[in-house]
Amino acid sequence: MASKSAAPAIEVAVGEHTVRVSNPDRVYFPETGATKLDLVNYYLSVGDGIVNALRDRPCMLHRFPKGLPGGKVHQKRLPGGAPDWIPTVELYFPRYGRTADELCVEKLADVIWAVQMSTVEFHPWNSRRFDTEMPDEWRIDLDPMPDCPWSRVQRVAEVAHEVLDELGAVGWPKTSGGKGLHIYVRIAPEFGFQDVRRAALAFAREVERRAPKDVTTTWWRKDRDPHQLFVDYNQNARDHTIAAAYSVRGIPQATVSTPIAWTEIPEIHPTDFTIKTVPTRYAALGDLHAAIDEAIFDLTPLLEWANRDNLEVDLDEET
């Protein structure tokens, strides 16, 4: 019996460019049946939001050339065969002693081309191409341990919000697309990665002080209570990346890391947000992170906390 032939490639017009999408019927998510074309259409539906999340940031790609069953490729270097209109930024990686040109999104066509190249997840840096060594985004990662219930994540988010309010910082929450929550805070690009990490640690310790039964900042995983939530300050280290707002995650349910309002947190669950549900939500609400660049926080108070408590971060810390 002859095998079913692949559907022919299709041409997708995206702004001023056309992206040729090969194997549009390839199933990327067997549990839901979602295909490569479904992924393309999802990213088109949240176009302004995903571009806003990635714009001018070096971006690591999580690619699944044969869909989820075929495994994941962590791609720092831009895949080969890119058209000349795909923007990149050159980065130096001291650990390897070499440079790499990473995707640096400027427009929606750049995103769709990356999806054509089998990208499911987009993981941007927290700095921009103008000075990649100076972050302009402080990231708060509420990372539940294996036995931590979602209700604990919700409680800790309330504590984090309380501390941010007292600092005068505007936090922009989103689901991680997994079991946790991320909160982004825009900062002026005036401090290096080491200082941003120290500030993030000072914040994490304050959240831990207010919710000691729920939160840990213990670095080594083996030393953490599996029922607690880890406030992962090291997500602000150089070349550490997390899934962007509106990025699909490479898990069977095709969940999406989705911007949410603070008032929604008591009522939602991460599995509410998938490539099937988010387009409708986006059409109704727009990009809840659209104004993120308008609220800039000065890290100085947190660095004062770090100095007060003699907090330092180890350059060699690894998860």
Sorted by where each begins, the domain ranges of the chain are 11-124+246-288, 137-240+293-308
Measure the CA dihedral 201/296/49/130, to 10°. -90
Q: How far apart are CA 251 and CA 179, in angstroms?
A: 12
Q: How far, rounded to the nearest angstrom, does the alpha carbon of residue 249 sit from its chain's CA centroid?
A: 10
Sequence-distant (≥ 6) Cβ neighbours of residue 227 within 8 angstroms = 145, 147, 148, 149, 152
The parts of the chain modelled with pLDDT lower than 50 are 1-3, 317-319
Q: Which of 204, 250, 202 is nearest to 69 (CA)?
A: 250
Give the three-state DSSP class for 138.
strand
- Buried b / exposed e across 93-116, counting CB within 10 Å, b at 16+? eeeeeeebbbbbbbbbbbbbbbbb
Task: Return the pLDDT at 95.
Answer: 83
Number of Cβ within 10 Å of residue 272's Cβ equals 16
81 dihedral zone (left: phi>0; alpha: psi -120 to 50; beta) = left
Using the 8-state DSSP alphabet, how is residue 250 labeled?
S
Among candidates 225, 210, 124, which has minimal Cα distance to 161?
210
pLDDT for res 6: 74
Give the model's pLDDT for residue 96: 81
DSSP 74: E
Residue 4: predicted pLDDT = 60
CA atoms within 13 A on the CB side of 199: 26
Token code pair at residue 102: 């990473």
Those residues with Cβ within 8 angstroms of residue 173's Cβ, 6 or more apart along the chain or in another chain: 157, 161, 181, 182, 183, 259, 260, 261, 262, 265
Residue range 156-186, pLDDT digits in tens: 999 999 999 999 999 999 999 999 999 999 9
pLDDT score of 315: 58
> Does 137-240+293-308 carry CATH code 3.90.920.10?
yes
The C-alpha atoms of residue 253 and residue 238 are separated, in whole angstroms, by 30
Q: Which pLDDT score, from 0 to 100, does residue 1 have?
A: 41
DSSP 182-244: EEEEEE-S-S-HHHHHHHHHHHHHHHHHH-TTTEE--SSGGGS-TTSEEE-GGGGSTT---PP
pTM: 0.95
pLDDT at 211: 98
Mean pLDDT of the chain: 95
